[in-house]
């Protein structure tokens, strides 16, 4: 080996120790002097490792091989299908169970208003024209008048039809009628001046449209009454004519209004209350009621009297002056025809009271046929006995 080469090798060894950390690329083109020429450093360092300098192995960098199989557990794990979430649902929200729908309790129809059903009928008139009559009644008694003896019920036909359709089964007819009574004397819109006097016809309001017969009114036995302004114009004679003619009007109105439904065998009641006008003496009042009873009895097609009196004992006594046979006779001396007529008793406030009133002493001296009590907007009636 040449000396110059030996010196070059020694110098290269020293440089390698100092510069071992520098990249080899930096010395790739460096040369060191040597005998006979320059020698590239890379040629001196790269091929020969210095046993005195330990070189740490380069760290291993992990790489991913796209062809390598995935982890077994990952390859077998099923993929959950994607689900659409609402804006208010978070990724960690557990699925919620739908609450069972609450079923509202079924609404039941209100129970119909309780109405009396035991042997009861009803009486209705103009105040109930806009109301539906009670159902399931045994019979009906219909008012012909409109609250006073001179006025008339505008819905008589409709209400009478309801009465004819009641279920029956009692001692009463399905349908009967009642009239308002009074004795207004000089306070009325019309007052008779003779036995043949009649009120004018007013066709602008409900009422009879045909003229009434002008034959003189007579007492029950057929004798003349003798109503005259010259002799006690507001006494029993003219009061009898007044009651008779007003009852004639009621019969005429019923015949015209009911048409073929009207019958000469209908039963009639005299509504006798202190709320109506009673301007005469008790004798004159009793005569007015007698006149009405006589006219209704004569309206019978078979000669049978089908007339009764509606009142209470207290009211009847106030109006007529007595009960039973104590009612004053007529001016001609006849017994008043009110005596012994069937009675329709008023005054009870409930069914039990009306049933109890079937057994009280009758104010007419006859039989108690009906008793009444009031409930709500309607009157109800208990059948006590037949005519």
State pLDDT tens for residues 40-72.
444 444 444 443 434 444 444 343 433 333 333
The separation between the first and the last C-alpha atoms of the chain, rounded to the nearest angstrom, is: 171
With beta carbons less than 8 A apart as the criterion, state whether 139 and 166 touch. Answer: yes
Cα–Cα dist 199/327, whole Å: 28
CATH number of 120-383: 3.20.20.80
The pLDDT of residue 240 is 98
**Which of 111-115, 121-125, 148-152, 281-285 is predicted least confidently?**
111-115
- Average pLDDT of span 9-30: 45
CB 183 within 8 A of CB 285: yes
pLDDT single digits (tens) 72-114: 333 333 334 333 333 333 334 444 455 555 555 555 555 444 4
In the chain, the percentage of residues whose pLDDT exceeds 70 is 69
The pLDDT assigned to 29 comes to 47
Q: How far apart are CA 292 and CA 299, in angstroms?
A: 11
Position 21 scores a pLDDT of 43
Q: What is the mean pLDDT of residues 173-178?
A: 98
DSSP string, 164-192: HTS---SSS-SEEEEEE--B-GGGSS---
What pLDDT is stored for residue 6 in this prediction?
45
Q: Helix count (H) and strand count (E) of the chain?
A: 8, 10
Residue 8 DSSP symbol: H
pLDDT band at 231 (very low <50, low <70, confident <90, very high): confident
Cα–Cα distance measured from residue 162 to residue 232, given in angstroms and rounded to the nearest whole number? 44
Task: Say how many residues make up the chain.
Answer: 387
pLDDT (0 to 100) of residue 110: 52
- Return the residue matching tokens 């208010």: 88
**Higher pLDDT among residues 52 and 253, named by residue:** 253
Question: Two tokens at 183?
Answer: 């004795």
Domain boundaries, the chain: 1-50, 120-383
Q: At residue 295, does pLDDT exceed 90?
A: yes
Helix axis angle, 236-258 to 156-164, nearest 10°: 70
At residue 57, the pLDDT reads 44
- Cα-atom radius of gyration of the chain, to the nearest Å? 61
Q: How far apart (Å, rounded) are the C-alpha atoms in residues 234 and 162? A: 40
Residue 224 pairs with which residues in a beta bridge?
A: 218
CB of 346 closer than 8 Å to CB of 312: yes
- At 251, list the tokens: 């019969």
CA angle 218, 267, 118 (to 5 degrees): 150
pLDDT band at 387 (very low <50, low <70, confident <90, very high): confident
Which tokens is 351 given? 């069914």
């Amino acid at each position: 080996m040449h000396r110059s080469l030996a010196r070059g090798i020694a110098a290269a060894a020293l440089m390698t120790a100092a510069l071992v950390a520098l990249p080899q690329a930096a010395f790739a083109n460096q040369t060191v002097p040597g005998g006979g020429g320059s020698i590239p450093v890379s040629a001196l360092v790269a091929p020969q490792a210095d046993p005195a300098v330990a070189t740490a192995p380069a760290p291993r960098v992990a790489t991913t091989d796209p062809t390598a199989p995935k982890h077994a557990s990952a390859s077998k794990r099923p993929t959950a299908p994607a689900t659409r979430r609402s804006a208010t649902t978070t990724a960690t929200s557990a699925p919620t169970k739908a609450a069972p729908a609450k079923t509202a309790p079924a609404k039941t129809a209100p129970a119909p208003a309780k109405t009396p059903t035991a042997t009861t009928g009803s009486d209705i008139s103009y105040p109930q024209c806009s109301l539906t009559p009670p159902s399931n009644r045994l019979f009906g008694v219909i008012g012909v008048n409109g609250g006073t003896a001179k006025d008339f019920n505008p819905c008589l036909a409709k209400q009478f039809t309801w009465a004819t359709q009641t279920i029956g089964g009692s001692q009463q007819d399905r349908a009967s009628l009642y009239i308002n009574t009074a004795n207004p004397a000089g306070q009325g819109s019309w007052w008779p001046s003779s036995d043949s006097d009649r009120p004018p016809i007013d066709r602008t309001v409900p009422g009879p449209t045909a003229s009434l017969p002008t034959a003189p009114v007579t007492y029950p036995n057929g004798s003349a009454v003798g109503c005259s302004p010259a002799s006690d114009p507001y006494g029993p004679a003219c009061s009898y004519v007044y009651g008779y003619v007003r009852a004639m009007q009621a019969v005429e109105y019923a015949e015209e209004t009911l048409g073929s439904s009207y019958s000469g065998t209908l039963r009639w009641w005299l509504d006798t209350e202190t709320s109506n006008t009673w301007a005469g003496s008790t004798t004159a009042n009793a005569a007015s009621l007698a006149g009405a009873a006589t006219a209704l009895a004569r309206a019978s097609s078979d000669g049978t009297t089908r007339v009764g009196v509606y009142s209470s004992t207290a009211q009847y006594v106030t109006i007529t002056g007595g009960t039973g046979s104590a009612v004053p006779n007529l001016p001609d001396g006849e017994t008043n025809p009110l005596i012994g007529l069937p009675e329709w008793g008023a005054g009870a406030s409930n069914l039990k009271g009306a049933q109890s009133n079937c057994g009280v002493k009758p104010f007419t001296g006859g039989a108690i046929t009906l008793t009444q009590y009031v409930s709500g907007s309607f009157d109800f009636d208990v059948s006590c006995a037949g005519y």
